[in-house]
């Protein structure tokens, strides 16, 4: 479990995070959502230790990050897996080398054992026969799978994903979302996903934190988000033209059915 | 780390040998021809052609001129490869994993450039060879005269001076482009700009350091 308490972060005179508190639960997919500029990325980078909040604490299963020694922080980092927005695969390495990189860097495992583990996780993310391909030979969806495989190869306790569906078609996005959720449950890890993709929100939002202008505006899950009357949430959820049109057409169909029923009754 | 160092040696040192050999050979030849064409006084021995070629190649052409070429060839490669890693979040990925990104990316390049004096030694040899071929087969000087000229007033300290500055230039070639790549901000366009800036700064620093070392050691 990751717990953040009253974190504040500024860049110059601009306060990006304004006293946010939240809990990200283990075994669940926790989503941070909000419009661009709401502070999602800064919050995720604060959780990763890339940014240091001026105020507040971040604790990983009771370990307060700012109070850890250098060695403890290094150890904690080996417990973290990260899936970047653009996958961030190392161009000079093939799939097998990319996935095996954390094991090679942080464990004393023999190359045979590393290879077995790499094949195991590649199998888990449904990527077979791609071991010797380079990132530029893979599709966007395949690159995301490799990035997920690399993130989980070292059995992390915490998995962070920065807009994992960015640049993917809707069908592949669903597959990636499902994969992340399955892995979260299977490995019992704390997963935090930064997204503004509504399909992901509805599909895997077991816990959702909605940020607006650096403040936590709302907290709930994928069922509650459709029921809430919070104005900011409603505007966010139904902001796309697609949703508006679907909503309008559904309302029109509903009206037609009612008028037909009235005619029949008469 | 060993594999990374070997890869950098392959990319930065061995990969540069072709262009270094080509330029050194022909510039050595041109230096010999230019010197020969300007020696109109019959009292000046023809062996001076070889002497001038040797001094030009060992003192300045091989260490300094080739280093400027390397700032364009290897320096741009270093800046653009590290810069692309920055833009595509690969450096963030290393840092999140707990890898010391500077150590991982820059240290192997510094180690690779400790072999840079070998490149310059090859450049010196090929430069003088080019001068000999152009001088002798161009009909400007006899082979014996050229060999005599090469040996005339040879000062071993000049070779030490040349290799000392080559080693320093090698360190500059590894670190300045790495700095520009590692700390760049922006996107693909900025990677290009960073490569250009890196080339300009590496060249400026090499020329300035060359002047300082020459002033300190030879004057």
Residue-level pLDDT at A243: 66
Under an 8 A CB cutoff, do B90 and A48 touch? Answer: no
CB of A230 less than 8 A from some CB of B: no
Residue-level pLDDT at A153: 85
CB of B98 less than 8 A from some CB of A: yes
- Domain A2-229: homologous superfamily in CATH: P-loop containing nucleotide triphosphate hydrolases (3.40.50.300)
- Within 177-206 of A, beta carbons closer than 8 Å to B belong to none
Distance (Å) from the alpha carbon of B109 to chain A's nearest alpha carbon: 15
Please report residues of B whose CB lies closer than 8 A to that of A74: 98
Please report residues of A whose CB lies closer than 8 A to that of B97: 77-78, 80, 82, 101-102, 105-106
State which residues of chain A have pLDDT below 70: 240-255, 257-258, 261-266
Q: Which residues does A91 contact at the CB level (< 8 Å), separation at least 6?
A: A134, A135, A136, B84, B85, B88, B90
Under an 8 A CB cutoff, do B98 and A106 touch? Answer: yes
- CA A1 – CA A101 distance, rounded (Å): 26
Q: What is the C-alpha end-to-end distance of chain B, expressed in Å?
A: 42
Is residue B140 a contact partner of residue B53, using CB atoms and an 8 Å limit?
no
Residue-level pLDDT at A253: 62
Parse chain B into domains and list their residue ranges.
2-218
Residue-level pLDDT at B51: 92
Residue-level pLDDT at A264: 62
A215-220 and A207-212 beta bridge pairing:
antiparallel
CA A142, A144, A148, A150 torsion-angle sign: positive
Each residue's pLDDT, cut to its tens digit, for chain B (219 residues) gives 788 899 999 989 999 999 999 999 999 999 999 998 988 888 888 888 999 999 999 999 999 999 999 999 999 999 999 999 998 888 988 888 888 889 999 999 999 999 999 999 999 999 999 999 999 998 888 899 999 999 988 899 999 999 999 999 999 999 999 999 999 888 888 989 999 999 999 999 999 999 999 999 987
Q: Which residues are registered as beta bridge partners of A20?
A: A7
Is residue B202 a contact partner of residue B73, using CB atoms and an 8 Å limit?
no
Residue-level pLDDT at A247: 54
Please report residues of A whose CB lies closer than 8 A to that of B99: 105
Which helix (H) or strand (E) segment holds residue B163: the answer is helix B156-182
Under an 8 A CB cutoff, do B93 and A48 touch? Answer: no
Residue-level pLDDT at A262: 65
Strand-by-strand arrangement of the A55-60 sheet: A14-24, A2-11, A55-60, A63-64
Please report residues of B whose CB lies closer than 8 A to that of A49: 96
CA distance readout (Å), A16 to A22, A161, A218, B106, B114? 16, 20, 17, 33, 46
Residue-level pLDDT at B137: 92
Is residue B93 a contact partner of residue A84, using CB atoms and an 8 Å limit?
yes
pLDDT digits (tens, 9 = 90+) for A109-148: 888 888 888 888 888 877 878 888 998 898 888 888 888 8
Residue-level pLDDT at A254: 58
């Amino acid at each position: 479990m990751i717990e953040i308490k009253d974190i504040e972060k500024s860049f110059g005179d601009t306060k990006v995070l304004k006293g946010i508190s939240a809990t990200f639960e283990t075994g669940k997919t926790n989503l941070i959502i909000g419009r661009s500029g709401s502070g999602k990325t800064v919050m995720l980078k604060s959780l990763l230790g890339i940014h240091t909040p001026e105020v507040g604490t971040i604790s990983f299963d009771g370990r307060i990050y700012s109070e850890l020694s250098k060695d403890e922080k290094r150890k904690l980092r080996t417990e973290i897996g990260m899936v970047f927005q653009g996958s961030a695969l190392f161009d000079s390495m093939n799939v097998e080398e990319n996935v095996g990189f954390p094991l090679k860097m942080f464990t004393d495992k023999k190359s045979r054992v590393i290879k077995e583990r790499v094949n195991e996780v590649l199998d888990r993310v449904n990527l077979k026969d791609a071991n010797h391909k380079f990132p530029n030979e893979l599709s966007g969806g395949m690159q995301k799978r490799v990035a997920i495989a690399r993130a989980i190869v070292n059995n992390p306790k915490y998995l962070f994903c920065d807009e994992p569906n960015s640049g993917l078609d809707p069908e592949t996005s669903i597959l990636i979302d499902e994969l992340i959720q399955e892995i979260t449950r299977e490995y019992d890890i704390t997963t935090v996903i930064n997204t503004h993709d509504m399909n992901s929100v509805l599909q895997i939002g077991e816990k959702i934190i909605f940020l607006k202008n650096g403040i936590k505006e709302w907290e709930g899950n994928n069922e509650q988000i459709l029921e809430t009357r919070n104005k900011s949430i409603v505007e966010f959820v139904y902001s796309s033209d697609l949703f508006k049109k679907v909503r309008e057409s559904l309302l029109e169909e509903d009206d037609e059915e009612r008028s037909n029923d009235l005619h029949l009754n008469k | 780390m060993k594999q990374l160092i070997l890869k950098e040696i392959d990319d930065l040192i061995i990969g540069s040998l072709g262009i270094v050999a080509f330029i050194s050979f022909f510039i050595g030849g041109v230096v010999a021809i230019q010197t020969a064409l300007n020696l109109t006084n019959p009292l000046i021995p023809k062996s001076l052609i070889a002497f001038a070629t040797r001094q030009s190649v060992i003192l300045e052409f091989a260490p300094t001129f080739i280093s400027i070429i390397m700032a364009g060839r290897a320096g741009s490669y270093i800046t653009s490869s590290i810069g692309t890693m920055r833009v595509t979040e690969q450096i963030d990925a290393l840092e999140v994993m707990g890898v010391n990104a500077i150590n991982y990316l820059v240290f192997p390049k510094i180690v690779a450039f400790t072999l840079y004096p070998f490149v310059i030694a090859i450049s010196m040899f090929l430069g003088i060879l080019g001068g000999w071929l152009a001088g002798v087969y161009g009909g400007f000087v006899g082979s014996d005269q050229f060999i005599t000229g090469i040996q005339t007033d040879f000062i071993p300290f000049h070779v030490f001076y040349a290799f000392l500055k080559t080693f320093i230039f090698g360190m500059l070639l590894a670190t300045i482009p790495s700095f520009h790549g590692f700390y760049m901000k922006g996107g693909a366009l900025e990677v290009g700009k960073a490569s250009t800036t890196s080339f300009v700064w590496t060249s400026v620093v090499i020329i300035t350091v060359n002047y300082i070392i020459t002033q300190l050691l030879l004057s």
